[in-house]
Amino acid sequence: MSPTQRLRTLLFYLALSTSAFAWGIVSLLLAPLLPFRLRYRIIVRTWCKLAIGLARCVAGIRYEVHGLENIPQRPCVILAKHQSTWETFFLSGLFGPLSQVLKRELLLVPFFGWALALMRPIAIDRDNPKQALRQLAKQGDRHLRDGNWVLVFPEGTRVPVGEMGRFSRGGAALAVNAGLPVLPIAHNAGRCWPKEGWAKYPGTVQVCIGPPMFAEGEGPRAISELNQRAERWIAERMAQIDPAPVVAAPSLAR
């Protein structure tokens, strides 16, 4: 990374951390007084768009979105590729109101985590997968019934560029049980905002939004089939937008 990009990255982190602190304070003061939808629009979407704007203007991370016409009118379950933090900001700013599945430790971060808890996330314990699935099913269904999008990263964690993690069925099961589709999203944000390290690299993130996918039937078999279909779609799009060879998860390596 060049000295100029190092400076731009440092300036980006300084601006982002300052805005996060201010956002946390404002959220703690205002959020309890606002209805959830207004709270999300004013606080979450505004700050997430600010974060994406800082990444573009300061760090040089631009983006192109393909498939906006595929977004359905009614909120559903979003199944997205997970490579970095960039997509959490971007998707939270694009969709709303949105409830995101995240690790519960984030809620313990002073100010930021406390404010985040007011935004109705689905905070799970990754060390207890069975409980996490039950929590996703119960809370996710409630959020969908309230007309909120539910964002699930089915790989469970950020996966390095060029690799595909195995997809959990929790998001697909949530959609099938609610009678709603899943919306698959692929992107290569990890090229500019890697999983490891602090470096940020200029470039253009390609975001591909696929057509809504409905289950063919009900029950475990329909859930498994829908999950594999979304997984395949994302893997195929990743192979198109990412120049690195995509190393498939075991469920795709057939």
Tens-digit pLDDT profile for residues 3-42: 888 899 999 999 999 988 888 788 778 878 888 888 888 8
Q: How far is Cα 204 from Cα 216, in angstroms, rounded to an integer?
A: 36
What's the number of CA atoms in the CB half-sphere (13 Å) around residue 193? Answer: 27
Phi-psi region of 197 (alpha: psi -120 to 50; beta: other; left: phi over 0): left
| 243 CB-near residues (< 8 Å, 6+ apart) | none
| 252 CB-near residues (< 8 Å, 6+ apart) | 164, 228, 231, 232, 235
Residue 216: exposed, middle, or buried by beta-carbon count in 10 A (0-12, 13-18, 19+)?
exposed
How confident is the model over 175-196, as pLDDT tens digits? Answer: 999 999 999 999 999 999 998 8
Q: How confident is the model at residue 125 (pLDDT cuts 50, 70, 90)?
A: confident
Of 120, 119, 71, which is closest to residue 94 (Cα–Cα)?
A: 71
In the chain, what percentage of residues exceed pLDDT 70?
93
Of 39, 155, 49, 180, which is closest to residue 99 (Cα–Cα)?
A: 39
What's the pLDDT score for residue 247?
Answer: 62
Q: Side chain identity at 172, as an amino acid letter?
A: A
Q: How far is Cα 105 from Cα 27, in angstroms, rounded to an integer?
A: 19
Q: State whether residue 82 is helix, strand or coil.
A: coil
What's the pLDDT score for residue 243?
Answer: 66
* Of 96-100, 112-116, 125-129, the least confident: 112-116
Q: How confident is the model at residue 254 (pLDDT cuts 50, 70, 90)?
A: very low
Q: Side chain identity at 210, as an amino acid letter?
A: G
Q: What is the mean pLDDT of residues 83-103?
A: 92
Average pLDDT over the chain, rounded to whole? Answer: 89
- Contact, 92 vs 98, CB < 8 A? yes
Q: How confident is the model at residue 117 (pLDDT cuts 50, 70, 90)?
A: confident
What's the pLDDT score for residue 60?
Answer: 96
Domain boundaries, the chain: 3-241
How confident is the model over 141-185, as pLDDT tens digits? Answer: 999 999 999 999 999 899 999 999 999 999 999 999 999 999 999
CATH number of this structure's domain 3-241: 3.40.1130
Phi-psi region of 214 (alpha: psi -120 to 50; beta: other; left: phi over 0): beta
∠ CA 90-96-98, nearest 5°, is 85
